[in-house]
A and B are shown apart, each in its own frame.
Chain A
Amino acid sequence: MSVQEALPLGGLATGQSGQFRADHLLVAEMVKPGSKVLDVGCGEGDLLQLLETRGIDGRGIELSREGVNRCVAKGLAVVQGDADTDLINYPDDAFDYVILSQTLQATRQPKVVLENLLRIGRRAIVSFPNFGFWKMRLQLLIGGHMPRTENLPASWYDTANIHFCTIKDFVELCDAIDVKMERAEALDLYGRPLRLRMPWWVWNLFGEQGVFLLTRGGRK
């Protein structure tokens, strides 16, 4: 069962949530209603549509022309652009939240992108597939080949994902560039959050993906 097919999360109207992805529902839950949001790598605008139903002023950037055109055809404020090269054009503090959903691993410079997210937005929400997930580890350890899953079906030679990381790697990066984690969630194989407070190594093993609400650290 993939994340897309996962059961809706608690706390949201089931009639409405059934059409949305589990990780999108979790992200939407992290955004305060009435805020201004930039979704970087917004795909076909599913998350933006979900946010708009909650009274959030959403904007998007998407690399693929088809994705952008689908979004614009849905009436969404989306521009064609590249997370690696175009975030620099946005001014500081332009948004309450900047979302990077399942896109970090496809950027050329994840660290620079992350820094830009928290320059443009007062908060950032980042989700990514966890390469430390036990199934991934098993494929590499036992199978001896680069892992492929339902959510990441592409082979190593034609994947757009060039910077995979584990939850542990991401936590270390946040620490290195003085990014504070306000909230962290790991989703299991069924798209459900691992609600229990568990040590990072457990999340890193059993979280199929990580979702993080980030804010600027106070060290500088």
Chain B
Amino acid sequence: MVGVQSIPSPAITADERSHEVDHPSSQVAQFGTEQPLRLDCGVDLSPFQIAYQTYGVLNADRSNAVLLCHALTGDQHVANVHPVTGKPGWWDTLVGPGRPIDPQHYFIICSNVIGGCMGSTGPASINPATGKVWGLDFPVITIPDMVRAQAMLIDRLGIDTLFAVVGGSMGGMQVLQWTAAYPSRVFSALAIACSTRHSAQNIAFHELGRQAVMADPDWHSGGYAEHGLHPHRGLAVARMAAHITYLSDAALHRKFGRRMQDRELPTFSFDADFQVESYLRYQGSSFVERFDANSYLYLTRAMDYFDIAGDHGGVLAKAFAAIQTRFCVVSFTSDWLFPTSESRALVHALNASSARVSFAEIETDRGHDAFLLDVPEFLDISRAFLQSAGKARGLTLRDG
């Protein structure tokens, strides 16, 4: 028989993962029935909660708050050890002591998005009306819904104007949505490796991932929680496919080439002979330990629906009319998920709105994921942009 090695089962149980959904290892803001979240689909979500982390101290003027928006599979644990994986914060290249976004200077906020699974209300949360997990009864959410919820959190924290909103990928979409929806509340915006709309190719990749989840018999039409199951195989395949889009041909070749995994010769089986296969399987299986399958469906859907121009009569520049926010847009040469052309279209619209915008394309072969990695040119630009914005904002940065 031809050898087959499938994706290993996750090391942690569904219960361990769902613990973070209800009892996150971070701060939580509760919003009762008097403060519903008005969703784009027409539903009022209430009650709901937002799990968030903060780092640093809000200054007396309340003018040094930086909101970080996480990407599709990120969460609020941007600069601390992750409570489930035990790994360092997902953006510790950019955020932390001595980093461009330093808690010594800024009051840093990062919240888990609505629809997420690390403590903000989402499909893995308990529906108070039924006492059961929401599952597919959870309303479909959008990027504007995520941002609306963040604005409620910012209100709760007593902050009127954010010094900066920063994010990459889906986080970058939230940055742009912030500037379009609340231009006067965003002093500066750093939008990285993102777009004002999700392209057909990206929607196609997301559909592939969702179908992989739904094809897993353990998915049970989204009701897996009731069966004590989690469609980890389908979700792992979705993650594997998505992970390829976060890298680049050159990066994969440099990292793995055609090298074999712990063997000299092919086994003439479907075992993971190649290092790249083994790597992808690892990415898939480690992802399902910390992520809820339904949440993945909802968040990919939110990205698919994102189209700022569509919300403004098809004219992107209208979304940013007379905006005073200082923008910095960054793209990466080898990013084929959010290629530079997408950033350029955004920059053209911002120019047409006479917005103050900087735009840099960073040369790297590390693909879309470059924004999370140690890419010095990108980090230098982020630091300089925030420093010059801080000067314009009158922030006195404390000496390190």
On whether the two chains bind one another, the answer is yes
- Tell me the A residues contacting B by CB distance below 8 Å: 57, 59, 65, 68-69, 71-81, 86, 89-91, 94
Q: Which chain A positions have C-beta within 8 A of B348?
A: 86, 89
Given contacts A59-B357, A81-B347, A86-B348, 19 further A-B contacts (CB under 8 A): A59-B356, A65-B360, A68-B360, A69-B377, A71-B358, A73-B380, A73-B381, A74-B384, A75-B391, A77-B357, A77-B358, A79-B358, A79-B359, A80-B344, A80-B359, A89-B351, A90-B351, A90-B352, A91-B354
- Whole-angstrom CA separation of A69 from B387 in the bound complex: 15
Query: Does chain A have a CB within 8 A of B388?
Result: yes
- Contact (A65, B363) CB under 8 Å given A77-B358, A89-B352: yes
15 contacts between A and B (CB under 8 A): A57-B356, A69-B360, A72-B358, A72-B359, A72-B381, A73-B384, A75-B384, A75-B385, A75-B391, A78-B359, A79-B347, A79-B351, A79-B357, A79-B359, A86-B348
What is the chain A residue whose CB lies nearest that of B381?
A: A72
Query: Does chain A have a CB within 8 A of B235?
Result: no
- Whole-angstrom CA separation of A78 from B361 in the bound complex: 11
- Tell me the B residues contacting A by CB distance below 8 Å: 326, 328-329, 344, 347-348, 351-352, 354, 356-363, 377, 380-381, 384-385, 387-389, 391
* Shortest Cβ distance from residue B352 to the other chain A in the assembled complex, whole angstroms: 5
- Whole-angstrom CA separation of A3 from B206 in the bound complex: 56
- Contact (A72, B384) CB under 8 Å given A79-B351, A89-B351: yes
* Shortest Cβ distance from residue B125 to the other chain A in the assembled complex, whole angstroms: 41
Q: Which chain B positions have C-beta within 8 A of A77?
A: 326, 356-358
Closest A-B pairs by Cβ, 6 of them: A75-B388, A79-B359, A89-B348, A73-B384, A72-B358, A72-B360
- Whole-angstrom CA separation of A196 from B344 in the bound complex: 46
Q: Which chain A positions have C-beta within 8 A of B388?
A: 74-76
* Shortest Cβ distance from residue A119 to the other chain B in the assembled complex, whole angstroms: 13
* Shortest Cβ distance from residue A191 to the other chain B in the assembled complex, whole angstroms: 30
- Whole-angstrom CA separation of A75 from B361 in the bound complex: 15
What is the chain A residue whose CB lies nearest that of B378?
A: A69
Q: Which chain A positions have C-beta within 8 A of B384?
A: 72-75
Q: Which chain B positions have C-beta within 8 A of A65?
A: 360-361, 363
- Whole-angstrom CA separation of A57 from B344 in the bound complex: 22
* Shortest Cβ distance from residue A69 to the other chain B in the assembled complex, whole angstroms: 5
Q: Which chain A positions have C-beta within 8 A of B385?
A: 72, 75
**Interface-central residue, B344, B357, B360, B380, by most chain A CB under 10 Å:** B360
* Shortest Cβ distance from residue B160 to the other chain A in the assembled complex, whole angstroms: 24
- Whole-angstrom CA separation of A81 from B351 in the bound complex: 12
Q: Which chain B positions have C-beta within 8 A of A90?
A: 351-352
Q: Which chain A positions have C-beta within 8 A of B357?
A: 59, 77, 79
Question: When the two chains form their complex, are residues B381 and A80 in contact, meaning their CB atoms are under 8 A apart?
Answer: no
Q: Which chain B positions have C-beta within 8 A of A91?
A: 352, 354
What is the chain A residue whose CB lies nearest that of B330?
A: A72
- Whole-angstrom CA separation of A140 from B361 in the bound complex: 41
What is the chain B residue whose CB lies nearest that of A65?
A: B361
- Whole-angstrom CA separation of A68 from B388 in the bound complex: 16
- Whole-angstrom CA separation of A74 from B380 in the bound complex: 10
Q: Which chain B positions have C-beta within 8 A of A89?
A: 348, 351-352
Question: When the two chains form their complex, are residues A72 and B328 in contact, meaning their CB atoms are under 8 A apart?
Answer: yes
What is the chain A residue whose CB lies nearest that of B358?
A: A72
Q: Which chain A positions have C-beta within 8 A of B351?
A: 79, 89-90, 94
What is the chain B residue whose CB lies nearest that of A93?
A: B354
**Interface-central residue, B356, B361, B384, B389, by most chain A CB under 10 Å:** B384
Question: When the two chains form their complex, are residues B361 and A94 in contact, meaning their CB atoms are under 8 A apart?
Answer: no
Q: Which chain B positions have C-beta within 8 A of A69?
A: 360, 362, 377, 380-381
- Whole-angstrom CA separation of A77 from B344 in the bound complex: 15
What is the chain A residue whose CB lies nearest that of B345?
A: A89
* Shortest Cβ distance from residue A153 to the other chain B in the assembled complex, whole angstroms: 26
